[in-house]
């Protein structure tokens, strides 16, 4: 009988051999055979059982090693706080509200993937409206305004309806319906989106506003911007010909400054994300107060894909809640981008000032009729 120390040494060697993928006689070190007629010795049973236990221990050891390697890979390039390259990767539903200092958070981005987008689509509204489907409203710059359904993964057009006599603006999803508002008008249009990506017009509505820019549904209410610094909360359309009611309004602010020209809107994790007209940025807004809780600087995104000089301003935000994925595009852009947000590890007044210099809109845009 081998001693206890010898048995432990064999177990250690066995674990090493299995972990390294060795095979052959080394895996049976210490077993005996009766070489007279090839029959096994009377110690066969105990030796076989011992070998089985050794192999089981070795397999468990390999599993521990694999787990350690996986953990090590997840920590490459990160410190204890999870920072990588001076920024912290966060899921979109995390790190909501302002930073610990009380300042708005500042985010950059990584491009996860790109998909095709119609370069003739003057995008005014964008939202997910079904399993793997995007709904989009476009303004009347190359023909009539439209509402359309595309396959998110490929950009393939599934359905398209023209909207007569208005310049379509933002759209909001509510259940299986999408509602489109219009520029310098109080008119709106409702459509039912089928499971296969079909579109069916179900009615019209009017708002109490004289202008319409961005739109998003949150908590059974319709949030709308109108080219001012206001965020308006309306009732949702419920029937054909509905007249929406204004429930409340608030000023969009960043610090002491009102923020004008919040354009396309999207609901993300109970907050509102807004394009800022002619700025490569998204503002994240607290829907209960209108306060900007974060700036998302997407500078350079448009230039990351060739657009033959046709690409216009960024406009279009769609949140895929099932996959916690944010998709953005622009007017006449040939691509839609899925982006991952990267929170800046530097929570400083200087960093925020630099971001505001890029993201804050002007106080007027007379070229569009907004003095």
CATH at 163: 2.120.10
pTM of the model: 0.77
Domain shared by 158 and 26, yes or no: no
* Residue spans of the chain under pLDDT 70: 1-87, 89, 93-94
* Helix, coil or strand: residue 117: coil
Considering the domain architecture, whether residues 69 and 95 belong to the same structural domain is answered as: no
Are residues 152 and 26 both part of a single domain? no
Tell me: do 131 and 169 sit in the same domain.
yes
The residues with which 10 forms a beta bridge, in sequence order, are none
Residue 281 corresponds to which tokens in the numbers above? 């940025």
Query: Domain check: are 29 and 176 in the same one?
Result: no
Q: Are residues 53 and 158 in the same domain?
A: no
How far apart are the C-alpha atoms of 363 and 371, rounded to whole Å?
Answer: 8
pLDDT recorded at residue 93: 61
Q: Could you tell me if 280 and 302 are in contact, meaning their C-beta atoms sit under 8 angstroms apart?
A: yes
User: Does 81 reside within a domain?
Assistant: no
Tell how strand 242-243 and strand 246-251 pair up. Answer: unpaired
DSSP lists the bridge partners of residue 134 as 128, 150
For 301, the token pair is 């995104």
Compute the distance between CA of residue 81 and CA of residue 314 in angstroms, rounded to an integer: 32
| Residue 237 included in any domain | yes
- In a domain? residue 369: no
The 3-state DSSP class for residue 3 equals: coil
User: Is there a single domain that holds both residue 114 and residue 36?
Assistant: no
Confirm whether 29 is domain-assigned: yes
Cα dihedral value 92, 171, 151, 303, nearest 10: -60
- 86, part of any domain: no
Contact (Cβ atoms closer than 8 angstroms) between residue 259 and residue 225: no
pLDDT score at 96: 81
Whole-number pLDDT of residue 305: 84
Instruction: Report in angstroms the alpha-carbon separations of 9 from 3, 6, 31, 52, 335.
Output: 10, 5, 14, 16, 62
**Is 121 in the same domain as 22?**
no
**What is the count of structural domains for the chain?**
2
Task: Extract the tokens encoding 347.
Answer: 């929570």
Does residue 316 lie in a domain region? yes
Can you tell me the distance from the alpha carbon of 332 to that of 310, in angstroms, rounded to the nearest whole number?
Answer: 7
Q: Looking at the structure, do residues 29 and 155 belong to the same domain, yes or no?
A: no
CA 346 to chain centre: 22
Exposed/middle/buried for residue 203 (C-beta within 10 Å: 0-12, 13-18, 19+): middle
- The reply to whether 160 and 22 lie within a common domain is no
Which of 75, 101, 119 is the last residue before a domain boundary? 75
Q: Which of 49, 75, 101 is the last residue of a domain?
A: 75
Residue 83 has a pLDDT of: 32
One domain for residues 59 and 156: no
Do 137 and 25 share a structural domain? no
The reported pLDDT for the residue numbered 309 is: 74
The residue among 75, 100, 115 that closes a domain is 75
Q: Which domain holds residue 252?
A: 91-364
- Look at residue 370 and tell me if it is in a domain: no
Question: What distance lies between CA 316 and its chain's CA centroid?
Answer: 13
Domain assignment of residue 82, yes or no: no
Q: How distant is the alpha carbon of residue 76 from its chain centre?
A: 23
């Amino acid at each position: 009988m081998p001693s206890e120390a010898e048995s432990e040494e064999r177990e250690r060697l066995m674990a090493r051999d299995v972990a390294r993928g060795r095979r052959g006689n080394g895996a049976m070190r210490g077993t005996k055979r009766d070489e007279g007629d090839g029959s096994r010795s009377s110690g066969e049973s105990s030796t076989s059982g011992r070998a089985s236990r050794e192999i089981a221990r070795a397999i468990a050891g390999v599993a521990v090693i694999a787990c350690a390697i996986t953990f090590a890979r997840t920590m490459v390039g990160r410190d204890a706080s999870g920072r990588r390259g001076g920024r912290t990767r966060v899921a979109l539903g995390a790190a909501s509200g302002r930073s610990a200092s009380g300042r708005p958070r500042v985010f950059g981005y990584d491009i996860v993937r790109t998909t095709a987008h119609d370069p003739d689509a003057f995008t005014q509204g964008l939202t997910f409206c079904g399993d793997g489907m995007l709904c989009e409203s476009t303004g009347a710059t190359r023909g009539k305004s439209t509402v359309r359904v595309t396959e998110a993964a490929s950009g393939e057009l599934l359905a398209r309806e023209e909207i007569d006599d208005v310049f379509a603006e933002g759209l909001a999803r509510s259940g299986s319906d999408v509602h489109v508002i219009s520029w310098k008008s109080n008119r709106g249009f409702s459509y039912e989106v089928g499971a296969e990506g079909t579109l069916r017009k179900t009615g019209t509505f009017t708002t109490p506003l004289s202008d319409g820019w961005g739109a998003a549904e949150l908590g059974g209410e319709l949030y709308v911007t109108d080219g001012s610094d206001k965020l308006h909360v309306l009732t949702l359309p419920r029937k054909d010909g509905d007249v929406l009611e204004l429930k409340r309004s608030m000023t969009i602010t960043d610090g002491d400054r009102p923020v004008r020209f919040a354009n396309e809107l999207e609901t993300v994790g109970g907050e509102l994300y807004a394009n800022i007209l002619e700025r490569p940025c998204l503002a994240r807004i607290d829907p209960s107060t209108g306060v900007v809780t974060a700036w998302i600087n997407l500078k350079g995104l448009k230039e990351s894909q060739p657009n033959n000089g046709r690409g216009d301003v960024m406009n279009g935000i769609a949140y895929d809640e099932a996959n916690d994925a944010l998709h953005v595009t622009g007017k006449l852009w040939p691509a839609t981008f899925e982006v991952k947000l990267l929170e800046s590890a530097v929570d400083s007044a200087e960093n925020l000032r630099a971001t505001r210099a890029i993201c804050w809109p002007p106080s007027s845009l007379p070229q569009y009729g907004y003095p």
